[in-house]
Amino acid sequence: MLSLIIFIPLIAALALLMVSRENTALIKVFGVGAAGASLALSLWLLFSFDVANAEMQFVQTLHWVPALHINYLVGVDGISLWMVVLTAFLGLIAIMFSFTQKKGLRNFVALMLALEAGTLGVFLALDTILFYVFWELMLVPTYFLIGIWGEGRRVYATMKFVIYTLVGSLLMLVAILSLTMTHYGATHDVTFDLRVLTHTHIDPATQMWMFFFFFLAFAIKVPVFPLHSWLPHAYVACPIPALILLTGAMSKTGAYGFLRFCLPLFPDAVESFAPVIGFLAATGMVYGAWIAIAQKDLKALVAYSSISHLGFIVIGIFAHNGTGIEGSVLQMVNHGIIASALFLIVAFIEMRMGTRNLNELRGLSKAMPVLYGSFMLVMLAALGLPGLNGFVGEFMILMGVWTSSMFSGLSGVLVLMGGLSIVFASIYMLYMFQGSMQETSDNLPDGLTDIDRCEFKLILPACLLIILIGLYPKPFIDRITPSVDSLLHLEKTVNLHAGEDNHH
């Protein structure tokens, strides 16, 4: 089941290379068909998921490299469930929006499907080597998507993105291998199965550097301040369909890595580093929001707002309590929905006006009432208006930070910084919205039209989810809770003395 979700897009991507470049109709059928099938299966997964069960579900195992004990091992729990649904949902929207690409449509759609498959694989892999393979698989399509179809300083942006990511993933590979060696030292059993490895007792000194290696790889992907400097370049250069997957799903793989690797494997290191990480994340929240206010390019503005919102997710994870982590997982979904909707809106405006510069945009609301309404809803969700989805996640995260024992003396300061970044968020979101939509303008192009039915279909699901999660987050949180409890519980009991009996 899970393998189908991952491999339908991947096989379609390979099959597309057999299709003639001119046959756009077939390319569209392949793209939408594969992404749609993946989404349909992930929704089936959502409904057949056992809410009360905290263990991994729908687990599939195949012997992949038996000599090295590397298996193809996938499974899903409450933490990865929503990430899979989100990725499949954004994948379909991104593919449908890809059809606006004029050049090289076939290869573009194939790379988009490969990117979706890699991201889904990261969220489902339970074997550390398989996780690493999918992690690297995400990099390749992104490299080509930005490098070939990007705009502006795309070569510089790609190089920076690739170098940052590669450094992180090589460190992660070292840590993955050391982890297996440590487990082997304790049990004389070679395994890359994450479920087994989480029970391994690792001495605090080793935990420190292993945690640091994993943390760097994931922190670059999120990105956590001050490792964020690749993001504005990559986001501004990236074509919008790819950006939907990049910001909506791929940036969440880093936060997911913290939850899946850093917290359960290295509890001592997490305790030592949490205040520092919390402070860096909070700094990123304020910094991203502050820089966003100064942006004239709408795409850059949304990119910096992403740095700010992703900081929220990280701080919630390292608050290390149920409320904070559940809020973070929910906020990953929320940010995925809100940020992709914002990038779509920026694209719609740019396609009609030929510019994204706020100084050249004024008074679009008269000509574009439908876009005006959708934009207003998404903007209010992004600045955390109660009753919309952004508020629920941010509120839970701030509650988690306030009551966190990890941040002890810092909690108050971090909550204040969080509050400050929300105030800034209201400034830049209103600035972006009013600057482009309100006031009157003399230089609107003739024949400026509102978004058409196809474009409205792309943004409507996001608008509905924004309201649904905002008003009734319970079914979303219910599926996350058991897995988060089990994650926190694992650290308190099993991890203390596992693997020690074998020494006697």
Which one has a higher pLDDT value, 384 or 466? 466
pLDDT confidence tier of residue 493, bands split at 50, 70 and 90: very low
pLDDT confidence tier of residue 213, bands split at 50, 70 and 90: very high
pTM: 0.89
In the prediction, which pLDDT does 333 show? 92
In the prediction, which pLDDT does 204 show? 82
Average pLDDT (172-179) is: 91
Angle (CA) 390-465-453 rounded to 5° is: 125
pLDDT above 90 covers what percent of the chain? 24
- pLDDT digit string (tens) for 480-491? 888 888 888 764
181 burial level (CB within 10 Å; 0-12, 13-18, 19+): exposed
Alpha-carbon span 93 to 105, nearest angstrom: 16
In the prediction, which pLDDT does 441 show? 67
Q: Where do the structural domains in the chain lie, given as residue ranges?
A: 266-494
- pLDDT digit string (tens) for 111-142? 999 999 999 999 999 999 999 999 998 888 98
DSSP characters for 107-161?
HHHHHHHHHHHHHHHHHHB-BHHHHHHHHHHHHHHHHHHHHHH--SSHHHHHHHH
Peptide bond into 482 cis (omega under 30): no
Q: What are phi and psi of 320, to 5 degrees?
A: 65, 35
Alpha-carbon span 469 to 144, nearest angstrom: 35
Mean pLDDT of the chain: 86
Count of CA atoms in the C-beta half-sphere (13 A) of 107:
11
In the prediction, which pLDDT does 497 show? 46
**Best CA proximity match to 92, nearest among 248, 236, 237:** 248
* Widest distance between CA atoms in the chain: 83
pLDDT above 70 covers what percent of the chain? 96
Alpha-carbon span 440 to 430, nearest angstrom: 16
Average pLDDT (170-192) is: 86
Distance of CA 202 to CAs 68, 280, 329, 370, 500, Å?
A: 22, 26, 27, 56, 10
Alpha helix positions (H), 51-104: 78-98
- pLDDT digit string (tens) for 285-307? 999 899 888 888 888 888 888 88
